Structure 1
Amino acid sequence: MLAELCPDLSEWPHRWCFDDGDIDFGRHVLEALTPFLQHLLATDLSRKTLVRHRDHLWMLGGELVRRLHDEPRLRMKAPTAVLLHYIDDEGGPLIYPSITEAQQHAFDGTCRKLYRFLSEVASAG
C-alpha cells in the first residue's frame, strides 16, 4: 500500500538534495517519516487526505534540506533532531518560497500530526 501512495519514496532524498552531501541527511529524514506514512495508511483516511499528507511530508523533507544550506550549523545535529527542531504541536516551518496561508495551515496540520506520532512513539519506546 505504501508503494501505491508513494511509488517514488526511495527517490525523495535525491529529489530534495542540492548536492551529494544532502542525500544521507535526506535518507535519515525519510527513515523518520516512513513509519508515519505507514501509520496513516493504517487509518481510515480518504485517498485524497493521504495524498495531501504525503505531499506535505515531501515538502517538509525538502524544506529541511534547504535549511541545511541556510543554517550550516544544523549539519552538526542528527537528522531526526533537525526534524524535531522544526516541527512541534503548533505546526512546521514556514515554507519557502512562500505558499498561501491556507496551504501553510494545511501543511502545519500534517506537521502537528507527525509531531504527535513521533512523541507517542518516543514515549512508548
Structure 2
Amino acid sequence: MGVEEDLAYGKKLLPWFAGFLQALYAEGLSRKTFVQYRDHLLSLGGTIIREVSLYGEYQVDPLESLRESVADDGILPDHYDQMTRAELKAFERMCRRFEKYLVESY
C-alpha cells in the first residue's frame, strides 16, 4: 500500500476517464456542465484509488473497479458529507452517464 502503487493504479484509469471527457466534449455540453462532470470524475477517481489502497486490491482490474464504482448511481465520494443534495444528485447523474458510456464503449 502506498503512493507508487496508487499512482500506477490511477494511471490505468486515465484512458477511460479521458475517453468519457472527450465524449462529453463532443456532445457540446456547456462549459459549466462539462466542468461539473470533470470535477465529479476527479472525485470518483480519488475515491476508487482510496478504496483500492485501503484494501490493498491493486491486482483488481481497473475497468472492473470503475464499472462497480459507477453502477447503481455510483459510490459515495470521499467528501460526500460536505456536499449539498444538489451536488450529490449531480454526482449520481455523472455516474449513470459514465456507466452508460462504459457499456456502449467497452
Q: TM-score, normalised by structure 1?
A: 0.76
Query: Aligned pair 1:92/2:92, yes or no?
Result: no
Give the unaligned 5+ runs of structure 1: 1-17
Q: Structure 2 CA distance, aligned partners of 1:31 and 1:25?
A: 12
Structure showing greater relative contact order (alpha-carbon pairs closer than 8 Å, 6 or more residues apart): 2
- Structure with higher helix content: 2
Instruction: Confirm or deny that 1:58 pairs with 2:42.
Output: yes
Aligned partner of 2:59 in structure 1 is: 76
Amino acid at match of 2:75: P
Deviation at 1:92, TM superposition (A): 1.2
- Which residue is 2:18 aligned to? 34
Which stretches of structure 1, 4 residues or longer, exceed 4 Å deviation after superposition? none
Query: Where in structure 2 are there 5+ consecutive unaligned residues?
Result: none
SS class of match (2:77):
coil
Aligned-residue offset at 1:52: 0.4
2:27 aligned with 1:23: no
1:76 match: secondary structure: coil
Task: After TM superposition, give the deviation of residue 56 of structure 1 in Å.
Answer: 0.6
Supply the distance in 2 between the matched residues of 1:40 and 1:121 (Cα, whole angstroms): 13
Q: Deviations over 1:43-97 (max 9, x none)?
A: 121010000001011111111111113322x322111111111112x31111123
How many matched pairs? 103
TM-score (norm 2): 0.88
1:115 maps to which of 87, 99, 104: 99
